[in-house]
Chain A
Amino acid sequence: MLNFDEIFVTRNWFGKPVRRDADTRFVKGEGSYVDDLNMDCVYAGFVRSPHAHARLGKIDTSKAEALKGVLAVMTGPEVAALTKPVGARAITRPARQHVMATGKVRYVGEPVAVVVAEDRYTVEDALDLVEVEYEPLPVVVEVEEAMKAGAPLVFEEAETNVLLHDTLTHGDIDGAFRQADLVVKEQFRIQRFSSTPLENWAIIAKHEKGTDSFVVWANCQQPGRSIVNVCGCLGIPANKLRFIVPDSGGGFGIKLALWPYIVSQCVVARKVDKPVKWIQTRREHLLAGTHTPDCVVDLELALKRDGKVLGLKIRDRQNDGSFVHTAGIYNLIKFATMVGCYDIKATQAELMSIVSNKAPTVQNRGVGKPAMIFTLERLMHRAAVQLGLDPAEIRFRNFVQPEQMPHTTPSGEIYESGNYPETLRKALAQIGYDGVKKEQESLRKQGKYIGVGLSASIEPGTSNLGYYYTSRGTPEYMGNAEGAIVSMDYDGNVNVLLGSVDEGQGHATSVAQVVADMLAFTPERVTMNTHMDSLVSPFLGHSGCYANRFNDVDMGAVIMATKKVRDKVLKIGAHMLGVPEGEVRLKDGAVCSAAEAKKSAPFKDIATVAYKQILLLPKGVEPGLKEVAYYKNEIAKMPGKEDFNVQMTHSNSVHAAVVEVDVESGMVSFRKYVIAHDCGRHINPGIVDGMAIGSTVHGVGTVLLEEFIYDENGQILTTSFVDYMKPLAVGLPRFELTHLESPCPTSLLGTKAVGEGGAIGSLAAIANAVEDALAPFGVKVTSLPITPEKVMRAIRETKVI
């Protein structure tokens, strides 16, 4: 592996809060999101099922087709007949599903027919004219019903609603529970929610008649896999699909699986022979997914009297709704994260992915880690209280210690770096822990209830794909990697392309900083087009913006490609200067003689030789200055049940929250919030801070506000931002950040994951603070979200939130 010190020639930009001037288009209103692309499109819209579960009868499209401006109407069964079923990843039971409903509908909002018309408004008119006959079927909504004997089946061919059921045991779990002085257990219910990117899904599909091929523009987060899936469902070879991802208005995982809609849109685009645009509405987005699955988690901790945790058991029942492609994924990520920051030697995970008549689910920010760390850290808090230990102390007694790094967890996850005790010490100092505890006592006497909550969490990154095959055979994807093309152009400037996409993280700026320091010039001379185009971008099946992988494999690919360009530039430069290769160096955008700095060849002159005066090139050197590199994380193990690392970098944090609960209204408000965070080295601290705060606010929404509510008929009641409430600027605390930097030894820059952490660590910190505040009332928090209504009910009657 390239050594950190060999990477950089200068250190002028790496680690500095370089302004995101590369994204100035966004402040000018000149971004190019899919809906901004103007190419004489016609518009698509979907007729969606009003039933949660029903047999699909006759679909009469004649009235809609007769409407002026309507170009085509295709039904779900018609689209299904022209496409192959959706592939499953983690589940072990057979379940057959198409990109649109056929035979029956399985959730409210499932697409039943697609309409194409000349403008958006005519589409809406035509949707009302499609007549669909439904024969309602019994519905399953919650996991308990879905698991009952004789429950209505979502997929009959599976013969059960439990599509993945596996138990993974590591270490001496029975011994751990036998030796325990105390077993603490709880059942937690975590709601359905979503990070709801502000830009909804958006797709343009165009059929090229001459070549019978497709061009697609989509705000897709995972082009590498989507290309495989779209081609698979359409039954076309990869060379018949050009896939383009322009600017995207946020992703958070929610844009990982919009590809089923790409498939149906390609089918209608072929029919109407015009580019077809579909812009999802917010109602559709909230109604039909994708969501984070809700779950019921039973967790048990076996402890010694001194607070040492001997073993941990989880029984996870995950309500994966009705999308076979992603079902089971959350279970497996929870399993991989289950010991959190602790040195726990024995674990058992019973995992169940359960289908229901709720909307499809997808990997939302943190994917199972928020739920896992929430339940673990709730129970650590509970255990501390039961043992009469301070909640900070019980954590200190169980942390993996810095000198144990790299530390392998019972199931094979390798924690490569981090200083967990120091992270907690920093958080305690910043929050003024002892002071808050004293204040709490005196305020209680005045009838004011404040509480402090801690949560220590790991934030894994770079998933080792294939994890979802833990319960199956050989996976289709393994490890993780990314590709980059770096070229120096005629002017001696550098252009970068990645196989991956940007969902708003400012990749272009981070890349420019690193490349500038590798080539001893300035970030303004580095351009990165963050749009992905499968015709030119160096993508892999792994390519995409997910799993916190940018700082690892994306940067790795950029560095390796830049290094190739640099080596070539040095070689040509040395030759031009007539100096031996080992005696030149880079300075101010030029190759100069180490002995005689004035003797120099600016990049522009080198590029002239490389591209034009090619007879002046050194012997054996090819013309041109464009290099491609693919970089893979080397620590990925082969997928397996016994010993497997699901994620390959491990950041960590401690969130500490001080809240006040108004016992008259049930409102929770923040008094102070500290994030102590370690994501290794920072490329750009301004971006890192934004990721840490932004992800934490996702957690705040999860804990206090957001929930997709379904009634017993499977009707979803929360389909606008009036009922599905998002955090607003008012009501949030000022987050105080404190950083540690434990460099990651397995990524080239020592950088680690930074995009998901707050969404993982914040849940338990806030919930623990609420429980601490309400301790005088004996109220326990076992479910989310903590709404005023639930708080009041708990204080007055139930004692349980």
Chain B
Amino acid sequence: MHKIKVKINGTDYENEVEPRLLLVHYLRDKAHLTGTHVGCDTGNCGACTVFLNGKPVKSCNMLAVQADGADLMTVEGLARGGALHPVQEAFLDKFAVQCGYCTPGMMLSALALLKSNPKPSEAEIREAIEGNICMCTGYQQIVDAIAHAADLMGQSRSA
């Protein structure tokens, strides 16, 4: 057993974990943050995407012990003070959510893109979510939502 300390969505956590415990299972089973999902076992689907020290990672692809000392953000950290994040608003506005299972990972990949590229083209959006599989929507409304989120975030920056 190893002791790890992490910050998740601004809250400190300290747990004893088996060295083989995947980060995604740590988040879900130990920290009880079940918004991060599992859709595959090979790092292909992106349902498990979280931010680790500000960068998107697939939490099924790393061990909890590797995250020791890290600052993590999961989907539960997007909304602040009861208000939805613009990416969340945009996903609802554009019908980008069907079953919702890919949504947390998809939104975090979208946010990673928008942080580095606030006005992405459609092609750039599609490329940025290439590591996230959505089985329901066919992606088009997700792509539209991300473009819309870029607008919403641009507005809030200029406001």
Which of these, B41, B88, B93, B136, contacts A720 with CB under 8 Å?
B41
Question: Does A17 lie within 8 Å of B101, measured CB to CB?
Answer: no
Sample of 5 further A-B pairs with CB below 8 A, known A198-B39, A506-B98:
A28-B75, A35-B28, A250-B135, A281-B41, A690-B98
Which of these, A17, A26, A195, A721, contacts B40 with CB under 8 Å?
A721
Q: Is B100's CB within 8 Å of the partner chain A? A: yes
Q: Is A595's CB within 8 Å of the partner chain B? A: no
Question: Does B103 lie within 8 Å of A26, measured CB to CB?
Answer: yes
Q: Is B99's CB within 8 Å of the partner chain A? A: yes
B interface footprint on A560-581 (CB within 8 Å = 1, 0 otherwise): 0000000000000000000000
B interface footprint on A258-295 (CB within 8 Å = 1, 0 otherwise): 00000000000000000000010111000000000000
**Residues of A near any B CB (own CB < 8 A):** 17, 19-21, 23-33, 35-36, 38, 120-121, 195-200, 247-252, 279, 281-283, 503-506, 686-687, 689-690, 693-698, 720-722, 726-730, 732, 734-735, 758
**Residues of B near any A CB (own CB < 8 A):** 18, 20-21, 25, 28, 32-42, 44-45, 47, 74-76, 78-79, 84, 88, 91-95, 97-104, 107, 122, 125-127, 129-130, 132-143
Given contacts A26-B103, A199-B99, A250-B98, contact A693 B140 (CB under 8 A): yes
Given contacts A29-B36, A729-B142, contact A198 B95 (CB under 8 A): no
The 3 A-B residue pairs with the shortest CB-CB distance in the complex, in nearest-first order: A29-B35, A26-B100, A504-B99
Question: Does B129 lie within 8 Å of A503, measured CB to CB?
Answer: no
Closest to A509 in B: B95
A21 shortest CB reach to chain B, Å: 7
How far is it, in angstroms, between the C-alpha of A480 and the C-alpha of B156 when the chains are bound? 50
Question: Does A20 lie within 8 Å of B135, measured CB to CB?
Answer: no
> What are the residues of chain B within 8 A of A248 when measuring CB–CB?
99
Question: Does A36 lie within 8 Å of B34, measured CB to CB?
Answer: yes
Question: Does B130 lie within 8 Å of A728, measured CB to CB?
Answer: yes
> What are the residues of chain A within 8 A of B139 when measuring CB–CB?
697, 727-729, 732
Interface centre among B20, B35, B142 (most CB of A within 10 A): B35
Given contacts A729-B129, A729-B143, contact A249 B100 (CB under 8 A): yes
Closest to B36 in A: A29
Question: Does A27 lie within 8 Å of B91, measured CB to CB?
Answer: yes
Given contacts A28-B75, A690-B98, contact A504 B37 (CB under 8 A): no
How far is it, in angstroms, between the C-alpha of A698 and the C-alpha of B97 when the chains are bound? 17
Question: Does A198 lie within 8 Å of B35, measured CB to CB?
Answer: no
A644 shortest CB reach to chain B, Å: 33
A369 shortest CB reach to chain B, Å: 18
Which of these, B20, B74, B97, B125, contacts A26 with CB under 8 Å?
B97
> What are the residues of chain A within 8 A of B127 when measuring CB–CB?
729-730
Question: Does B99 lie within 8 Å of A503, measured CB to CB?
Answer: yes
Instruction: Report 26 cross-chain contacts, Cβ distance below 8 Å, ordered by A residue.
Output: A27-B97, A28-B79, A29-B74, A35-B34, A38-B34, A198-B45, A249-B37, A249-B99, A250-B136, A282-B42, A503-B99, A505-B98, A689-B95, A690-B95, A690-B136, A690-B141, A693-B137, A697-B139, A720-B41, A721-B40, A722-B42, A728-B130, A729-B129, A729-B142, A730-B127, A735-B138
Which of these, B92, B99, B103, contacts A197 with CB under 8 Å?
B99
Question: Does A195 lie within 8 Å of B135, measured CB to CB?
Answer: yes
Question: Does A252 lie within 8 Å of B135, measured CB to CB?
Answer: yes
Given contacts A283-B41, A697-B139, contact A28 B35 (CB under 8 A): yes
Question: Does B97 lie within 8 Å of A20, measured CB to CB?
Answer: yes
> What are the residues of chain B within 8 A of A28 when measuring CB–CB?
35, 75-76, 78-79, 84, 88
How far is it, in angstroms, between the C-alpha of A197 and the C-alpha of B98 when the chains are bound? 12
> What are the residues of chain A within 8 A of B33 when measuring CB–CB?
29
How far is it, in angstroms, between the C-alpha of A767 and the C-alpha of B122 when the chains are bound? 26
A193 shortest CB reach to chain B, Å: 13
Question: Does A697 lie within 8 Å of B92, measured CB to CB?
Answer: no
Question: Does A23 lie within 8 Å of B97, measured CB to CB?
Answer: yes
> What are the residues of chain B within 8 A of A689 when measuring CB–CB?
95, 141
Question: Does B35 lie within 8 Å of A199, measured CB to CB?
Answer: no
Closest to B33 in A: A29
Question: Does B99 lie within 8 Å of A726, measured CB to CB?
Answer: no
Closest to A252 in B: B135
